[in-house]
Amino acid sequence: MPLELVANVTLAGLLTGLVYGLMALGLSVIFGVVKVVNFAHGEMMTIAMYAAVVLFAAFGLDPFVALVPVAAAFFVFGYILQAGLINPFINRPEHTQFMLVLAVAIIMVNGLLMAFGPDARNVPVDYALESFSIGPLLLDTVRVYAALAAVAIAGGLFLFFKFTPSGRAIRACADNYLGAKVVGLNVKKYYALTFGLGSACVGAAGCLMVLLVDVTPLLGPGYTLLAFIIVIVGGLGSMPGALLGGVLIGISEALAGLFFSPSAKSMFSFALLILVLLFRPQGLLGKRP
C-alpha cells in the first residue's frame, strides 16, 4: 500500500472527522448540562443541511456564510424547544424524555419528506470540485475549509464556556444543579441557553456537512447514531472528547475503507465503541461518574 495513499486517506478522514466532531459537540454540550439525550440530533442537522440548500438556491448564499443565520435560527429554535417542550420533562423518568425527543425526530423526518421529497440535494458551489496539493498530499478544498470552520466554531464555544459569565454559569449548572440554584442562578434559563447553543452547533455543522455529502430526509437517524458513537467514544459531556471522538471515527472509517472493505466502515466505528465501553466506559476524555 503506497504511503502517499495512506496519508491522503488519513488526512481526508481527519478533516471529515472534525466536522463530525462539531456535530457531536452539540449533542455532548446538551447532555453534559441539561442531561437530556437528544435523539433528534441528526434530524436537526439534516434540517440545517436543507436550510443551506434553500439559502443557496434562493439567494446564492455560500454555506460558509449561510451557517451564521442558520446557526442563529437554530439557537432560537433550540432555546424555544427546550424552554417550551423539553423543560417540563426534565424531572420526569428518562424513558418519557426519550420518547418525547424521538417523536420530535420522527416529525422532523416526515416533515422534510413532505417538504422536499426523497431526492438527494446538494449545494453546487464553484469550488466544490477543487483540490490543492502540498507535496504528495492532495487536499479536497471543501473538506479543508469545512474542517477549519469546525475547529473555529468549536474553539469559539470553548472560549464562551471558559471566559464568559454565561458560560461559567452554565458550567456551574452542569457541575452542581442544587448549588447553582442555591446561589440564585436561573437554571431553567441556562438550560434553554445550553440547548440553544447545542442546536446552533448542529446548525453550523449541517451547513458544513452539506458541502461534503448530498442531503436526503432520511440521513438524520444515521447521523444521530454516529453522533452518539462519537460522544460515547470521546466521553459523554466532554467537549474536547467530542472533537477527539469525531476525529477518531473519521480516521477509522477512512482507514477501514482503505485496508479492509469499504463496507467495513461502520463496523469499525462500532468496534471502536465496544472497545471504549469495555476498557474506558466513561469515554476517552470523560470523567468517571
Partner 1 sequence: MIRKQQPIRTYDAVHATNVGRRRFIAGLGASAAIVSSGSLMRPARAQATLNVGVLLPTSGTQAFIGQSCKLGADIAPAVLQGLGYGLPIRLMHADTETNVDVARSRAERLINEGAHVLVGPFDSGAASAIAQVCEQKGVPFIINIAAAPQLTEQGYKFTFRNFPTSVDLVRNGLALMRDLFQATGTAPRTAVFMHVNDTFGQANAKAIGAILPTFNFLPFKVLETISYDPAAKDLSVEVAKAKATNADFLMFVCRLNDAILVRREMVKQRWNPMGMIGPGNPGMYEAQFFAALGKLSEYCISNVPWYNPKAALTKAIEPAFVKAYPKDKLMFHALNVGFTVEALMVAADAYKRAKATDGRRLAEAIRQTNLTSRMMLGGPIKFNAKGQVEGIQSACIQNLNMRPTVVLPAASAEAKPVFPVPGYKKA
Q: Which stretches of the chain bind partner 1, using CB under 8 A?
A: 1-2, 4-5, 8-9, 12-13, 16, 117-120, 128-131, 138, 140, 212-214, 218-219, 254, 257-258, 261-263
What span, in angstroms and rounded, lies between the C-alpha atoms of 196 and 244? 23
Cβ at position 149, least distance to partner 1 in Å: 18
Cβ at position 63, least distance to partner 1 in Å: 16
Cβ at position 114, least distance to partner 1 in Å: 12
Closest to partner 1 by CB, 91 or 261: 261
Closest to partner 1 by CB, 200 or 207: 207
Dihedral of alpha carbons 249, 253, 255, 256, sign: positive
Residue 78's SS3 state is helix
Closest to partner 1 by CB, 174 or 256: 256
What span, in angstroms and rounded, lies between the C-alpha atoms of 220 and 223? 5
Cβ at position 105, least distance to partner 1 in Å: 19
Closest to partner 1 by CB, 111 or 262: 262
What span, in angstroms and rounded, lies between the C-alpha atoms of 117 and 139? 33
Cβ at position 185, least distance to partner 1 in Å: 42
For the chain, strand residue ranges (E) read: 131-134, 137-140
Degrees, nearest 5: CA angle 131-153-50: 70
What span, in angstroms and rounded, lies between the C-alpha atoms of 66 and 60? 10
Max Cα–Cα distance, the chain, nearest Å: 61
Closest to partner 1 by CB, 98 or 116: 116
Closest to partner 1 by CB, 32 or 217: 217
Closest to partner 1 by CB, 150 or 169: 150
Cβ at position 137, least distance to partner 1 in Å: 12
Instruction: Classify burial at 15, counting beta carbons within 10 Å of its beta carbon; exposed 0-12, middle 13-18, buried 19 or more.
Output: buried
What span, in angstroms and rounded, lies between the C-alpha atoms of 162 and 155? 10
Cβ at position 187, least distance to partner 1 in Å: 39
C-alpha cell at 99: 420518547
Cβ at position 115, least distance to partner 1 in Å: 14
Residue 284's SS3 state is coil
Beta-bridged to residue 121, according to DSSP, are 215
Cα–Cα nearest to 243, from 158, 137, 162? 158
Closest to partner 1 by CB, 78 or 206: 206
Cα-Cα-Cα-Cα torsion 193, 33, 232, 286, nearest 10 degrees, comes to 130
